[in-house]
Amino acid sequence: MFIDELAGKGLDLVIIGKFLFYFMPNLVPQVLPLTVLLASIMTFGALAENYEFAAMKASGISLQRAMKPLIIFILFLAVGTFFFANNVIPAAEYKSYNLRRNIAKVKPALAITEGVFSDIGESNMNIKVDDKYGEDDRMLKSIIIHKRNNSGDNINVIKAKEGELVSSEKSDILQLVLKDGNYYEDIKPKNNRSTNYPHAKAHFETYTINVDLSELNNEDLEEGDVNNTHKMLTVPELRKAIDSLKDQNNKIITKFGDNIYKRSGIIYLNKSVNAAPVEEKDSLNLNISLPKEEIKDTVAINSVEDIVNQYEDYRRVQLFEYALNNISNSVTTISNKKFDLNRRNKIYMLHRIAINDKFALALGCIILFFVGAPLGAIIRKGGIGLPMVVAILLFLAYHFIGIFAKNYAEDGSIPPFVGSWLATAIMLPLGILFTRRATADKAVMSMDRLFSNKIFLKIVGFFNATKNFFKKDTA
């Protein structure tokens, strides 16, 4: 999937070969289930087609006994698949990710992905371009750059219609030459309480940004320091990460909820006290200074309505305006926080899905074997004709059910356990059904039983009655 970014960029063939070698284990979870299903259907279909099973049965060898050596083999394959998914795939993902990351450091054009913001090396800049073209993709179009200060604040924005990456093997400086654009900078107001946010704007014909690559040119492409994605972790590491993510998310949600609760002002209300003096009412953060003569005489405060009744009519309007502004600000804050909370929840769900996928892949191979082997004995066709068609149809159903279920599990619509195991759980009854039918030497579906089924007869009778009704109506 990254070949288009690597090909024609002047990379050594050894580096490209290493990347492809590291990426190949990631294809095993997609290829292995289809391989097991197809091989079992073709093998047992060929045996049935050549009457090998008939000879076995004549010799007193049942289907289960004939399948026993392959069952033992598939059990060993399932165990090996689990260890492969738990150890080899995370290590390969770790290597491929860090190799691609380090290549992007040495070849800065590779670090810029079209349509999304990308970091340039170790600088404090994020860049987004709409298109890359030319030699080594050095020419850029529709550029947006965000520059951060030492505090991490994004105060500079640069926009340009075109740009070019200029570098030399003898130089440690990468030049980003921008053409026909604008420079924006936020200016911090002298008064922190000011509601005005001034900024400076300047237009340029050509603007050059220098990026220091002195540390990047000595990059070791085999060095790895990123190992925290869910695909790079083993089962014990995933369990530890899941616990940490769960605690972290709970703390963030609790802290955010407490912050919203305090900002609402409800924490300062006390229903068990009488009318408070003016100085205490200021603790409501109303920012309203009220003289005592403007407060009506009341006996006690038992509700919000009692508090509002302490004020004159024009003061009540101010209170309601303050409440509406407070609610509006809270809704805006919650909406802005929603994206971050959903992102954190998705990361948590991906870790839970990853740990279930390792076990589901191993068990899925066993179940698909018990789907394919009896089905091959039933259809009695070998080779790559009908067996391949049947295997591909079954695998597509298995594969797409798994994809849809995992997509729902990522956003929390269904539990991650269900998302990982749903496709395997649906194939399990098919495996049991096909095994029982093949053992009894029966077809997948008995047409005689179907036509004699009461429900089927009722459906046929309903259609016949409807047909006769329309015939009479037409006549």
Distance CA 254, CA 325 (A): 23
pLDDT digits (tens, 9 = 90+) for 366-394: 999 988 888 888 887 766 777 778 888 88
pLDDT digits (tens, 9 = 90+) for 174-211: 778 888 888 888 776 666 555 566 778 888 888 888 77
Distance CA 223, CA 185 (A): 37
Mean pLDDT over the full length of the chain: 75
Distance CA 428, CA 431 (A): 5
Mean pLDDT for 414-441 is: 87
Q: Which two tokens stand for residue 399?
A: 């594969």
Helix (H) or strand (E) holding 466: helix 454-474
Distance CA 169, CA 438 (A): 68
pLDDT band at 83 (very low <50, low <70, confident <90, very high): very high
Higher pLDDT, 316 or 348: 348
Does pTM surpass 0.85? no
What are the respective helix, strand and coil percentages of the chain, to the nearest 5? 60, 15, 25
Instruction: State CA 392 to chain mean position distance.
Output: 26
Per-residue b or e along 19-50, where b marks 16 or more CB atoms closer than 10 Å to that residue's CB = beebbebeebbeebbbebbbbbbbbbbbbbbe
Q: What is the pLDDT of residue 359?
A: 92
Whether pLDDT at 328 is above 60: yes
- DSSP assignment, residue 135? G
Q: Which CATH number, 2.60.40, 1.10.3470, 2.40.50, 2.30.30, labels domain 122-212?
A: 2.30.30
The partner residues of 143 in beta bridges, in order of sequence, read 129, 160
Q: Which residues touch 280 (CB under 8 Å, ≥6 apart)?
A: none
Whether pLDDT at 76 is above 90: yes
State the distance between the two ends of the chain, measured CA to CA, in whole angstroms.
65
Q: Which two tokens stand for residue 237?
A: 């590491």
Q: Domain locations in the chain?
A: 3-105+360-439, 122-212, 236-348
Residue 30 · residue 85 · CB < 8 Å: no
Q: What is the pLDDT of residue 327?
A: 82
Q: Which two tokens stand for residue 148?
A: 């951060």
The partner residues of 131 in beta bridges, in order of sequence, read 141
Helix (H) or strand (E) holding 139: strand 139-148
pLDDT digits (tens, 9 = 90+) for 15-34: 778 878 888 888 888 889 98
Distance CA 77, CA 234 (A): 19
Mean pLDDT for 315-321 is: 79
Q: What is the pLDDT of residue 77?
A: 92
Residue 209, classed as helix, strand or coil, is strand
